[in-house]
Amino acid sequence: MTLNRKCVVIHNGSHRTVAGFSNVELPQCIIPSSYVKRTDDAGKAEFIFGTYDMIDATAEKRSDDEVYTLMDSQGLPYNWEALELQWRYMYETQLKVSPEELPLVITMPATNGKPDMSILERYYELAFDKLKVPVFQIVIEPLAIALSMGKSSAFVIDMGASGCNVTPIIDGIVVKNAVVRSKFGGDFLDFQVHEKLAPMIKEENDMETMADEEKSSTDVWHEANTWIQQFKSTMLQVSEKDLIELERYYKEQAEIFARQQEQLKQMDQQLQYTALTGSPNNPLLQKKNFLFKPLNKTITLDFKDCYEFAEYLFKPQLISDKFSPEDGLGPLMAKSVKKAGASINSMKANTSANLNGLGTSHMHTTAGDNANGSSSNNISPEQVYSLLLTNIIITGSSSLIEGMEQRIIKELSIRFPQYKLTTFANQVMMDRKIQGWLGAITMANLPSWNLGKWYSKEDYESLKRDGKQSQPTNASANTN
């Protein structure tokens, strides 16, 4: 049975929120997951949402304005009052429907261990008590992304703002204790870009606000969403291999070149002139220019500097000894694959016993593209490795940095040399930026209500009565 269903779909990332309808492939709005709080002379608070309104407000540099975020460093909401205001803002000004009219689907990141029940309860409270949506579904973002790409097993690497999430999925089950997270993502890069460029800006500019150490939250937000964002998308690059190795390689090449020059010089005076005019081409020393719009000045960096920023995601210890090499993306991905291999069988046993106890959807999806027949009870760690490594999905806006896909392949191939690797990264920039939301609309559009884990107000009431999670009913009965 195919239902002609229309739902509202909201993806609250830690950096941006995407909202739209399940029957339209482009979202109605993409706005920051933050807001400006402004207090007027009468002491009344005003909340400013929306990219352009926030950019305008922060550009005014009012001393009393503050920027607040909605999501914590794990990508989970913590500022519930503001989240309600943001949803209402989107319903009223962007979606232009009443929350009571349509089912709502939202996303949540996969977490290591059990989902925090208090978060789920706050979501239900917001959806049912405050906004009065008729039915509600929470989908796990990486799982929705994998399933929407036709994969029931995948290794999802989501490089966002607050960090990078690595989620192994086997047979439609998130291998929870193998979910790992690195705290180094887009926000961390913002900080590094600011640190590196501040002295250059200061040299050329007396405006103390540009490179001041004590910045207000509105200044930090404004910079991150204007020139730092442009700098990241145009200047940053990822080297295909370890940057230190690459530097050593080019140094060796230069030495070989110098030796050859010397030999040529000794052999033939005639060749001397030509030889000395040539020089080894070290790509790391080439220059790249960035137009710093606030001052209309060009900032020039070596390619090596541009590579260095993203290198920190793989080798955070280069920034400070305080950061462990184990927190780099390479070791974390390897850890996740190995943990998934070690724990999938016990995980599958537990999950099948507790399918409906988690409050989020699609834990019980049947295998679709499982080539190894691993839907049977036991699967060897090697089979898990192979399933994951042939289905690597790279997503999140920070993965748009040039060369990221190749570097991820390199990092994994060093650690799993005997396995074939296949990556899937959406080449349409916009789609990669909203991949989580696109995954959620696929889940909202599944041909039957039974395939999703919908909750109705009645389910929520009985859940509250029981004081624990209850089995959801087929919500179609409540909505049609």
- Identity (one letter) of the amino acid at 164? C
Residue with smaller CB distance to ligand ATP, 232 or 315: 232
Shortest separation between residue 117's beta carbon and ligand ATP, angstroms: 21
Helix axis angle for 186-204 and 303-314, nearest 10°, is: 150
Residue with smaller CB distance to ligand ATP, 90 or 347: 90
CA distance 211 to 297: 15
Structure tokens belonging to residue 292: 């710093």
Residue with smaller CB distance to ligand ATP, 179 or 387: 179
Write b or e for each residue in 105-140: b if 16 or more Cβ atoms lie within 10 A of its Cβ, otherwise e: bbbbbbbbeebeeebbebbbebbbeebebbbbbbbb
Residue with tokens 């016993």: 353
Shortest separation between residue 54's beta carbon and ligand ATP, angstroms: 14
Shortest separation between residue 240's beta carbon and ligand ATP, angstroms: 17
CA distance 83 to 47: 11
CA distance 128 to 455: 10
Beta strand spans in 281-382 (E): 287-292, 297-302
- SS3 call for 131: coil
Residue ranges in contact with ligand ATP by CB under 6 A: 13-16, 33, 75, 158, 160-162, 185-187, 229, 232-233, 236, 396-398, 400-401, 433
Residue with smaller CB distance to ligand ATP, 164 or 347: 164
- CA torsion, ordered 125, 126, 127, 131, to nearest 10 deg: 120
Residue with smaller CB distance to ligand ATP, 75 or 439: 75
Shortest separation between residue 15's beta carbon and ligand ATP, angstroms: 3
Shortest separation between residue 384's beta carbon and ligand ATP, angstroms: 25
Shortest separation between residue 41's beta carbon and ligand ATP, angstroms: 34
Shortest separation between residue 22's beta carbon and ligand ATP, angstroms: 19
Residue with smaller CB distance to ligand ATP, 70 or 347: 70
Shortest separation between residue 228's beta carbon and ligand ATP, angstroms: 7
Residue with tokens 């990508």: 75
- SS3 call for 246: helix
Residue with smaller CB distance to ligand ATP, 442 or 476: 442
Sign of CA dihedral 313, 427, 53, 230: positive
Tell me how far CA of residue 225 lies from CA of 48, 174, 470, in angstroms: 15, 33, 42
Residues 156 and 374: beta-carbon distance below 8 Å? no
Residue with smaller CB distance to ligand ATP, 186 or 472: 186
